[in-house]
Amino acid sequence: MKRREFISLLGGATAAWPLTARAQQAGKLPTIGFLGTDASFWRPWTAAFTHRLHELGWTEGDSVTIEYRWDDGRAERDAEVAAEFVRNKVDVIVASGSAAPAAKRATSVIPIVFAMDNDPVSSGLVASLARPGGNVTGLSLQSPELAGKRLELLRDIVPHFRRLAIMANVGYPNAALEMEDVQAAARTLGVEVTRREIRRVEDIAPAFEGLKAQADALYVVSEALVGANRALVIKLALSAQLPTMFNQRGFVEAGALMSYGPSFPDQFRRAAELVDKILRGTKPGDLPVEQPIKFDLVINSKTAKALNLTIAPTLVARADEVIE
């Protein structure tokens, strides 16, 4: 065999060599860089992620290292953390949809797994769901009928539901897209819409001014800024006596009326499965982006009482959880 052919073969073998073997050869554990929004809010999701990793044979501190970083809803922090992960030469980066673009800009080599993104194709994270290509894959939150189902649920619990306020951080492209989807679903149901656009925490309180007189309920598009400031959003909504719809359980625990959407713990369990495949040698671009398969409806009965709303027995029966 010629020397050039041998070197080419060796290079190809190294690229295909599982990351675990390379990490062990280098004398260190494989490292996952995990970038989230809020440590306490994400605790159920990180627990689901690490538990599934453990089931797949990865024990934190024993066979794998996880470096956790939190942006606290500050988008500028994502680029800083992504650059840090690249400097530290982590083996895989796990991020939310809002943080994944910063990770992708920071590296075209280190595999990136996003655990949730509304529309990863439109946002430019992947070329397509079936063939992501490049170094990014993950799980989409995309489900075209979700906006309509959430509005139907609001109609089931809010008497004379005719006017809807939608609040979204339009500085985040996916949130702006969801706002449009909700507005389209509202038109189909004959519901009037008032838009409230935010871009930073200072915009949240002014967005509620005069809102009660213009809306019967509030649909909040959830992302990093809203998640980091959930207590403020929910407090202002309750003060305005506005029933609220969010996308997942954590907001209902914090006092929102209801949530309906993909099960986020399930999303993170499945993200762990993608990480496992990557650590064992599969290229992220060869792993199709997965879509949600489990959805949860959660209702806060205490909040319903505070808003003088009655939850019909049929709705209670449909709920995955009613928080007392």
Q: Are residues 191 and 206 in the same domain?
A: yes
Residues 252, 268 within the same domain: no
For residues 82 and 209, membership in a common domain is answered with: no
> What was the pLDDT predicted at 31?
98
Residues 95 and 223 in one domain: no
Any idea what the CATH number is for the domain that residue 235 is in?
3.40.50.2300
**Domain count of the chain?**
2
Give the C-alpha separation, 99 to 104, whole Å. Answer: 9
Note the pLDDT tens digit of each residue in 193-248.
999 999 999 999 999 999 999 999 999 999 889 999 999 999 999 999 999 999 99
Give 293's DSSP letter: -
pLDDT above 90 for 265:
yes
Lowest mean pLDDT among 19-28, 97-106, 235-244: 19-28
CA distance 176 to 24: 44
Question: What pLDDT score was predicted for residue 243?
Answer: 98
Are 137 and 269 within one domain?
A: yes
| Helical axes 43-55 vs 264-279, angle rounded to 10° | 40
Domain of 282, in residue numbers: 3-142+264-294
Residue 323 has pLDDT above 90, yes or no: yes
Is 50 exceeded by the pLDDT of residue 10? no
The pLDDT of residue 13 is 35
Would you say the C-alpha torsion 264, 269, 272, 273 has a positive or negative sign?
A: negative
When pLDDT is cut at 50, 70 and 90, the band that residue 184 belongs to is: very high
pLDDT digits (tens, 9 = 90+) for 117-154: 888 888 889 999 999 999 999 999 876 689 999 999 99
Rounded CA separation 227/234 (Å): 11
Same domain, 161 and 309: yes
For residues 133 and 26, membership in a common domain is answered with yes
SS3 category, 76 = helix
For helices 146-157 and 173-188, give the axis angle rounded to 10 degrees.
60
DSSP 289: P
- Stretch 286-310: mean pLDDT: 96
Q: Are 67 and 160 contained in the same domain?
A: no
184 with 240, same domain: the answer is yes
Question: What span, in angstroms and rounded, lies between the C-alpha atoms of 23 and 172?
Answer: 36
DSSP codes joined into one string, 242-260: --EEESSHHHHHTT-SEEE
Residue 65 neighbours by CB under 8 Å, 6+ apart: 28, 29, 30, 31, 32
Q: Do 313 and 184 lie in a common domain?
A: yes
Across the strands, what pairs with 138? 114
Placement of tokens 């609001």 in the chain: 154
pTM: 0.82
Structure confidence at residue 27 as a pLDDT band (50, 70, 90):
low
Judgement on whether residues 192 and 305 belong to the same structural domain of the protein? yes
122 and 35 in a common domain: yes
CA-wise closest residue to 65 among 83, 98, 89, 39 = 89
